[in-house]
C-alpha cells in the first residue's frame, strides 16, 4: 500500500525527519488557505511513478497561477490515475538533489539502504550504492559510512546521510514499510530535507497498524465494486479485459492457466484465486461475480488442491451447478488431495471433470469460439 506523498511526509515528520511545511489541497478553492510563501510547488497526489516527467508538479508564483495549475492538475490523469488531492509547499532552492531509500531485498533477506549522489527524476538510470543491512538490528553506521565515502566526497554530508538512513530504517521497521524512498533528498545550507516521500506499507501488517487497516478498507471502496466484493471476502481478484472467466486456486497455478488461455488465443477475464477462502460461500461469490459480467463468455474452474481438499470443492461445485440460474458454460478441471472422491461426486452430479488441463482449455476454446 503506497502512501500518498502528503501522508508519507507526515509520517516522516512524526519521526523527526525534516520535510517542507506543506498543506493538502482537496479542491481548487483550498488554495485560498495557503499561508506559505510563493513561489510554491503544487504537486499531484498520485501513487503512480514518473509524476515529475508527466507534468504533475507545477511551480507557481502567485495565487492566480496556483489556482490555474490546480484546475489543470485535478483534471489530469497520471498513468490512468486522477489525483485525489494536491500538495502545496514552498518552492525551495537547494544546492543538490540526492537519492536515499530503504527497501526490502528478498535476495538478502532483509532491508537494504540505497544511495545515489544524483537524485531527481532520472534515478532509474543511476546505479545506486547498496548497503545490504538484513534484519534492522544489523545496521552499522560505520559500514554505511565506508560505502558512502566512496560515492560522496562531502564528509560532513556523509554523516547527515548516515544519520538519515538510520532514521529512515527506523521508520521502515516501526511502521512496517517495505519501501521508504526519498527522491529527491535536497541539500539546503548543508542540511537534508525530504522533498518527496514514497512509502509503501506492508498490508500483511494491518493487524498491528490501525492506519494500514483503515487505508486498505478505504481503498477497497474505490476499487471496482465486484473486485471490492471479492477482496472483502478474501478472494484475490484482479479484473482483466477478457472473455474467459477463471476460478482458480493458488497464485502460480492461476497465472499458469491464464498463460495457457492466452496461448490458446483467448483472453482471461480475471485473475481470481479462491485458495484463501475455498468455502461454499467463497465459490458462490466467485460464480456470482463472473456470471453477472456480460463480457465473460465461459468459465474455467481450475483447481489443483493441496491444502484445499478437492472432494469438498467438488461437493460445493455440484451444489452450485444445481442452484445456478446462469447459462454461461462452465468447464471443470480439478485435481489434488481427494481427487478420487471428487471424480465420483462430479460424475454423480452429471458434470465432466477433465483429467488434463490441456483438455479443459481446449473445451473452453471450443465453447469460446462458439460464443
Partner 1 sequence: MSVLVDRASRVLIYGIAGNFGRFSVRDLAAYGTKPVAGLAPGRAIRDVDGVPVYASAAAACREHGANAALVYVPAPMALDAVLEVIDAGCKVIVYPGDGLPVQDAIDMRAAAREHGTVLVGPNTPGVISPGEAKLGFMPSFCYTPGTLGVISRSGSLSYEACWRLSGEGLGQTTVIGIGGDPVKGLNAAEALELLHADATTAAIVYLGEIGGSDEDAVARYAARPDAKPTAALVVGAAAPPGKKMGHAAALVGSQADSQAAKVQTLRAAGVHVAAGLPQLAAAARSALARVNK
Residue 341, contacted partner among its own copies, partner 1, none, CB below 5-8 A by kind? none
Q: Kindly state the smallest distance separating residue 232's Cβ from its own copies, in Å.
A: 19
Q: Helix %, strand %, coil % for the chain, to 5?
A: 40, 25, 35
60 phi/psi in degrees, rounded to 5:
-125, 140
Stretch that binds partner 1, among 31-39, 66-74, 109-117, 363-371 (CB under 8 A): 109-117
In 3-state terms, what secondary structure has residue 121?
coil
The entry of its own copies, partner 1, none that residue 335 binds, CB within 5 to 8 Å by partner kind? partner 1
Binding positions for its own copies, rule: CB under 8 A: 13-16, 137, 167, 170, 174, 207-211, 213
- Asked if 338 contacts 353 with a C-beta cutoff of 8 angstroms, the reply is no
96 binds, among its own copies, partner 1, none (CB under 5 to 8 A by kind): none
Q: Which is nearer to partner 1, 63 or 307 (CB)?
A: 307
Q: Report the partner that residue 151 touches, choosing among its own copies, partner 1, none (CB closer than 5 to 8 A by kind).
A: none
C-alpha cell at 56: 504533475
Q: Per CB under 8 A, does 219 bind partner 1?
A: no
Residue 84 CB neighbour total at 10 angstroms:
15
Q: Which residues pair with 272 in a beta bridge?
A: 237
CA–CA dist 352, 335 (Å, integer): 13
Q: Which is nearer to partner 1, 7 or 143 (CB)?
A: 143
Among 29, 163, 217, 326, binds partner 1 (CB under 8 A): 163
Q: Name the binder of 294 from partner 1, its own copies, none, CB < 5-8 A by kind.
A: none
The answer to whether the CB of 178 falls within 8 A of the CB of 145 is no
Rounded distance between C-alpha atoms, residue 341 and residue 152, angstroms: 67
Q: How far apart are CA 211 and CA 333, in angstroms?
A: 41
189 binds, among partner 1, its own copies, none (CB under 5 to 8 A by kind): none
Q: Which is nearer to partner 1, 28 or 308 (CB)?
A: 308
At closest approach, how far in Å is the CB of 112 from partner 1?
A: 11
Query: Which cell is 247 given?
Result: 476460478
Q: Which is nearer to partner 1, 118 or 173 (CB)?
A: 173
**Sheet containing strand 23-25, strands side by side:** 23-25, 86-90, 40-44, 57-60
The residue (of 15 and 322) whose beta carbon lies closer to its own copies is 15
How is 47-90 classified by DSSP, letter by letter?
SSS-TTTTT-EEEESSHHHHHHHHHHHHT--BTTB--S-EEEEE
Q: CB of 10: closest distance to its own copies in angstroms?
A: 10
Is residue 250 involved in binding partner 1 (CB under 8 A)? Answer: yes
| Residue 283 near partner 1 by CB under 8 A | no
- If the CB atoms of residues 18 and 224 are measured against its own copies, the closer one turns out to be 18
All three cell numbers of 169: 530504517
**Burial class of residue 37 in the structure, from the number of CB atoms within 10 Å of its CB (0-12 exposed, 13-18 middle, 19+ buried):** exposed
Q: At what angle do helices 225-232 and 210-220 cross, to 10 degrees?
A: 140
Residues lying near partner 1 in the complex (CB under 8 A): 48, 104, 106-107, 109-111, 124, 134-138, 140-142, 145-146, 149, 155-156, 158-159, 162-163, 166, 173, 176, 178, 202, 204-205, 207-208, 236, 238, 240, 249-256, 258-263, 268, 271, 273, 275-276, 303-307, 309, 335-337, 339, 357-358
Amino acid at each position: 500500500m503506497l502512501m500518498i506523498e502528503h501522508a508519507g511526509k507526515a509520517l516522516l515528520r512524526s519521526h523527526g525527519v525534516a520535510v517542507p511545511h506543506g498543506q493538502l489541497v482537496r479542491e481548487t478553492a483550498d488554495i485560498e488557505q495557503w499561508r506559505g510563501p510563493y513561489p510554491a510547488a503544487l504537486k499531484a497526489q498520485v501513487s503512480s511513478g514518473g509524476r515529475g516527467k508527466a507534468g504533475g508538479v507545477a511551480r507557481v508564483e502567485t495565487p492566480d497561477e496556483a489556482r490555474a495549475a490546480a484546475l489543470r492538475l485535478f483534471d489530469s490523469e497520471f498513468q490512468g490515475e486522477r489525483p485525489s488531492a494536491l500538495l502545496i509547499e514552498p518552492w525551495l532552492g537547494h544546492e543538490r538533489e540526492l537519492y536515499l531509500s530503504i527497501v526490502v531485498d528478498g535476495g538478502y533477506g532483509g532491508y537494504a539502504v540505497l544511495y545515489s549522489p544524483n537524485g531527481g527524476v532520472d534515478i532509474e538510470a543511476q546505479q545506486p550504492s547498496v548497503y545490504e543491512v538484513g534484519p534492522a538490528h544489523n545496521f552499522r553506521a560505520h559500514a554505511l559510512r565506508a560505502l558512502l565515502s566512496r560515492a560522496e566526497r562531502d564528509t560532513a554530508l556523509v554523516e547527515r546521510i548516515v544519520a538519515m538512513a538510520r532514521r529512515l530504517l527506523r521508520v521502515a521497521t516501526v511502521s512496517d514499510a517495505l519501501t521508504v524512498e526519498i527522491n529527491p533528498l535536497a541539500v539546503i545550507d548543508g542540511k537534508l530535507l525530504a522533498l518527496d516521500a514514497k512509502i509503501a506499507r506492508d498490508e500483511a501488517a494491518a493487524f498491528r497498524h490501525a492506519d494500514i487497516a483503515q487505508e486498505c478498507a478505504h481503498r477497497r471502496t474505490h476499487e471496482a465494486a465486484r473486485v471490492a466484493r471479492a477482496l472483502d471476502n478474501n478472494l484475490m481478484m484482479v479484473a482483466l479485459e477478457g472473455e474467459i472467466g477463471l476460478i482458480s486456486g493458488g497464485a502460480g497455478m492461476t497465472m499458469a492457466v491464464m498463460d495457457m488461455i492466452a496461448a490458446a488465443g483467448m483472453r482471461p477475464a480475471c485473475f481470481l484465486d479462491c485458495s484463501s477462502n475455498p468455502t461454499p460461500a467463497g465459490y458462490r461469490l466467485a460464480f456470482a461475480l463472473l456470471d453477472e459480467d456480460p463480457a465473460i463468455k465461459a468459465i474455467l474452474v481450475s483447481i489443483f488442491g493441496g491444502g484445499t481438499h478437492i472432494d469438498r470443492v467438488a461437493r460445493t461445485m455440484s451444489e452450485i451447478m444445481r442452484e445456478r440460474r446462469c447459462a454461461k458454460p462452465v468447464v471443470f478441471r480439478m485435481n489434488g488431495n481427494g481427487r478420487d472422491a471428487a471424480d465420483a461426486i462430479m460424475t454423480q452430479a452429471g458434470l465432466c471433470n477433465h483429467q488434463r488441463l490441456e483438455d479443459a482449455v481446449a473445451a473452453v476454446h471450443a465453447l469460446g469460439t462458439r460464443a
